[in-house]
Amino acid sequence: MAELKERLLPPKPSFATATPAASNPQEPSAACAGHRPLFQGMDFLGLKKRGQGRRSWICVDSTTGGSQVIEVDKFTMMRRCDLPARDLRLLDPLFVYPSTILGREKAIVVNLEQIRCIITADEVFLLNSSDVYVLQYVAELQRRLTAHSVDALAGGSTPPDCLPFEFRALEVALEAACTFLDALVAELEIEAYPALDELTSKISTLNLEHVRRLKSRLVALTRRVQKARDEIEQLMDDDGDMAEMYLTEKKRRKEASFYSDQSMQGFGCIGAGVSVSAPVSPVSSPPEPRKLVEKNLSLARSRQEDSMKSSDNTENIEELEMLLEAYFVVIDSTLNKLTSLKEYIDDTEDFINIQLTFATSFSTDLVGSRNLYKLACLALKENWVKFTKLY
């Protein structure tokens, strides 16, 4: 019985019998010395440094329209544009993110297909790339900025219907993304419609495989176009996000508030009979007339700023909404082309299924008729044998 239990039960771990090398925690055992580390061959320090390393950016200035290539690290760009790290991650070429347009306090983060840039009130930063659409974006933005500068010099003032710099940069990005997606859709249409017509005329394994690959490309491209369309529509539906993207107006208000504070301090000192440059004792409190003047000025300034902010926000939101609506129509037209192509593929599949079903039923009926013919022949043969035996 004991031998049977030893064979059936698993061996017990020997905790009590420890070797001297294992009992000493400071001396590694032979097994531990030959053990490979868990993440051997992965350079985590190199990956960390790669994420924090310097990168090449194309900087386009708003006033001159000139461009220059600069190399800055991630933290410098975060401080310069007042952006969190997660927003810069959207622009990383090592990752694939869907189309995104984010409005922040001092910048607009744009990730639209090949165009990945940061737009501020004074400049645009693009990741330096040899992509054709990136180079076309820089050239088109410089052309429009130069034309705007020439018109301003010739007319002597800025046209009233002229968009601010950040909206012009955003418009060029939207135009480049819509052009890129429409070119992909046109290329897919040129290849797909003849392949579908050939499949309807000749059903073969090669044609079926070709259509299957085209359908996979169609699904992936539809997802990209749909995400870009949804992003533009989401911006149009949110007035707060559109108001947040007006960087030039926010910069102007901040500068006006700063100068107003400076003038208020000087006016308060003069109204109280105290020199601006005279030292003020930290113990003494300001007199009552000075407090009253400062209070009245602060109330008047706050009312004026609120009224200006509400009126300017409404006007600026309408400007941006009209811009987004124009490119929403373009991207929606591109999506309609993909929808029509998908419907054509579905109709072709239905037609092929009908053909295959008819061919299968016809072959089944043919086999059944052949079997009936054989049975009839056998029955006729048996009757003929019986008849010859009788006579």
Confidence of residue 94 (pLDDT cuts 50, 70, 90): confident
Question: Given a cut of 50, is residue 364 above it in pLDDT?
Answer: yes
Mean pLDDT over 282-286 rounds to 47
Residue 320 CB partners (closer than 8 Å, separation 6+): 167, 242, 245, 246
Whether the pLDDT of residue 116 is over 80: the answer is yes
- Report the alpha-carbon distance of residue 353 to residue 342 in Å, rounded: 16
159 pLDDT higher than 70: no
Rounded average pLDDT over 250-272: 65
368 to 190, 211, 263: CA distances (angstroms): 45, 34, 103
pLDDT at 253 over 90: no
Residue 310: pLDDT above 50? no
The predicted structure's pLDDT at residue 337: 96
Sheet with 67-72, strands from edge to edge, namely 67-72, 55-61, 123-127, 115-119, 108-112, 100-103
Q: Is 59 exposed, middle or buried (0-12, 13-18, 19+ CB in 10 A)?
A: middle
Rg (CA), the chain: 38
Q: What is the pLDDT of residue 351?
A: 87
Q: What is the Cα–Cα distance from 266 to 158, expressed in whole angstroms? A: 33
Question: 270 or 170: whose pLDDT is higher?
Answer: 170
- Tell me which of 150 and 74 has the higher pLDDT: 74
The pLDDT of residue 137 is above 80: yes
Tokens 């102007």 belong to residue: 252
Region 217-232 average pLDDT: 95
Query: pLDDT band for position 30 (50/70/90)?
Result: very low
The torsion region of residue 136 among left (phi > 0), alpha (psi -120 to 50) and beta comes to alpha
How far apart are the C-alpha atoms of 239 and 317, rounded to whole Å?
7
Complete DSSP assignment for 20-65: HHHH-TTSPPHHHHTPPPTTTT--HHHHHHHHHS-EEEEEEETTT-
Select the more confidently predicted residue: 384 or 375.
Answer: 375
Q: Under a CB-based contact definition with an 8 Å cutoff, are residues 391 and 383 in contact?
A: no
Residues 6 or more apart from 84 whose CB is under 8 A from it? 78
What are the DSSP calls for 233-251, one per residue? HHHHH-HHHHHHT-HHHHH
Place of tokens 């760009």: 77
pTM over 0.75: no
Which pLDDT does position 275 carry in this prediction? 46
Q: What is the mean pLDDT of residues 30-58?
A: 58
Per-residue pLDDT at 255? 77
What pLDDT sits at residue 53? 73
Task: Write down the mean pLDDT value for the chain.
Answer: 76
CB 62 within 8 A of CB 122: yes
Range scoring the smallest mean pLDDT among 49-53, 115-119, 373-377: 49-53
Q: What is the pLDDT of residue 110?
A: 94
Q: How far is CA 7 from CA 11, 14, 17, 77, in A?
A: 9, 18, 22, 69
Higher pLDDT, 363 or 274: 363
